[in-house]
Amino acid sequence: MQPIIIIGSGMAGYTLAREYRKLNKEQPLIMICADDGVSYAKPTLSNALAGNKHPTQIPLADATKMAEQLNMQIHTHAWVNAIDAHNQKLSYVKDHQTFDIHYSKLILAVGANPIRLAISGDGSDDIYFINSLIDYRAFRQCLDQKQQQRIVILGAGLIGCEFANDLHQAGHTASVIDLAPQPLGRLLPTHVAQAFQQKLQQSGIRFILETTVDRISKIDTHYAITLANGHTLEADAVICAIGLQPNIDLAKHAGVHTSRGILTNSLMETNLPNIYAVGDCAEVNGTLLPYVMPIMQQARALAKTLAGDQTHVHYPAMPVAVKTPAAPLTVLPPPQEVEVNWETEYLEDGLVSKAIDEAGTLRGFVLLGATAGKQRLTLTKLVPDLIPPKV
C-alpha cells in the first residue's frame, strides 16, 4: 500500500494528519519537513512575552512524539526537490543523500515565507524574520541580552502590530514603520484604523507611517535606521513583518497550477491527480486566507476526502482576533468584490463598525475595545458564509 505523503510540518500538516487518523488508523502516513518537525501553535509566537512563555514552553511535542501519536513516519531536516506527478513519486534529500518514494496521495502543506525587502547597509543581514519557532528562539536570545531594548518593526499589519504590543508589554520600546498611511491597511477601513492606531500610541507604541527603510547600518552594538523620508532612528534589533508569500516553487516545477498560492478547488485538489494543497500555501477557489480557522476547515474537509468521504471545504464567517490587548480588536473583513458602506457606533471604550452591502446584508464587521468584542458571536451569525457548504 503506497503511503499518503504530507510535505510540511506546520499547523496545516499536523492538523490534517491528526484529523485523518481519527478516520483511518492503518493507512501508511509519511511527513517530510525541512525543519525539526516540532509541533506548536504558530500564533503563540506574537504574544509569548505577554503570556510569560519561554521558547522552551511553546512546543506541544517533538517529531518523535508526534510520529508515535499519529502512527506515521516523519523525516525531519529533509528537502523535497522534485515531484513526478505522472509516476506518483517524489525525491527528497536528507543527510546529503537523495531518496525516491512513491505516494498514493500527496499533500502540499508547504506554508509561506516572509517577504524580504531590498534594504542596503551592513546591518540589513541582521534583520529578524519570525516565521517559525526556530526564528523566534534566535530573536528571544537577542532580547535576553538586555533588560530593555529598542525594537523597530517593519510592517504595520496584523503580525507587526501584535509583536509591537507584546514587546511593549514586556518593557521594550516598539516603533512600527510602514509605507501605508495606516496600520492594518488591508483589514480595516480608515476610520477604524485611526482609532486602533490611537489606542496603541496611547499605550506607548510609536508608528512611523507613509515611509520605508532605505538603510540599516551597524553602530557598535546597535543599528542606525535611515528612512526614505530622510529621518533616522536607532534600534537594538529590527523585525521584518511586512507579510508572507505562499511557497509555490515546488508545486510550479511539478506542473501544479499556481497564482498567488497553489490553486485548488473546494476539495483542496490541484489540477494534477492525487495532489492536494492545504494551509497558508493554498489558494482555494481564488481565495487566500492564512489564518487558523480556515486552515482547520481545510484540514477537516481534506481528511474526510482522503478517507473516502468526498468533502468540500466550507468557510463560514470566520472573524480574526488580533492579539493587541492595548487595543482589543476583532475583524471580519467583507469580501473584496462586494461594495459595502460602513455604519459605525462609537462606544466609551471603542466602536462597532458594520459593513453593509446594497441589499442591507451584513458582510463584515470590526469590533474595537472590550465592550464591542462582546458582540462577536451575535454579529458573526448574521454574516453569510464565504464558501457555503455543498450538499
In the CATH scheme, what architecture does the domain 328-380 have? 2-Layer Sandwich (3.30)
CA distance 290 to 262: 13
Contacts of 271 (CB under 8 A, 6+ apart): 255, 256, 257, 263
Q: Mean per-residue pLDDT for 18-44?
A: 97
Q: Pick 4-41+59-112+244-306's CATH classification: 3.50.50.60, 1.10.1520.10, 3.90.870.10, 2.30.110.10.
A: 3.50.50.60
Is pLDDT above 90 for 147?
Answer: no
Per residue in 219-230, pLDDT (tens digit) is 988 999 999 999
Q: If we measure between CA atoms, which residue out of 159, 119, 142 comes closest to residue 241?
A: 159
**pLDDT grade, residue 391 (50/70/90)?**
low
Per residue in 309-352, pLDDT (tens digit) is 999 999 999 999 999 999 999 999 999 889 999 999 999 999 99
Q: Is 46 helix (H, G, I), strand (E, B) or coil?
A: helix
**pLDDT grade, residue 388 (50/70/90)?**
confident
| Domain limits, the chain | 4-41+59-112+244-306, 116-240, 328-380
Q: What is the DSSP-derived secondary structure letter of residue 29?
A: E
Per residue in 242-291, pLDDT (tens digit) is 999 999 999 999 999 999 999 999 999 999 999 999 999 999 999 999 89
Q: Is 31 helix (H, G, I), strand (E, B) or coil?
A: strand
Per residue in 164-203, pLDDT (tens digit) is 999 999 999 999 999 999 999 889 999 999 999 999 999 9
Mean per-residue pLDDT of the chain: 95
Q: Pick 116-240's CATH classification: 3.60.150.10, 3.50.50.60, 1.10.150.120, 3.90.470.20.
A: 3.50.50.60
Q: Is the model more confident about 386 or about 305?
A: 305
Q: Are strands 150-154 and 173-178 parallel, antiparallel or unpaired?
A: parallel
CA distance 77 to 54: 24
CA distance 75 to 67: 10
Q: What is the DSSP-derived secondary structure letter of residue 337?
A: T
Query: To which residue does cell 508608528 refer?
Result: 207
Q: Mean per-residue pLDDT for 107-127?
A: 95
Asked, colleague to colleague, whether 4-41+59-112+244-306 and 116-240 share their fold, the answer is yes
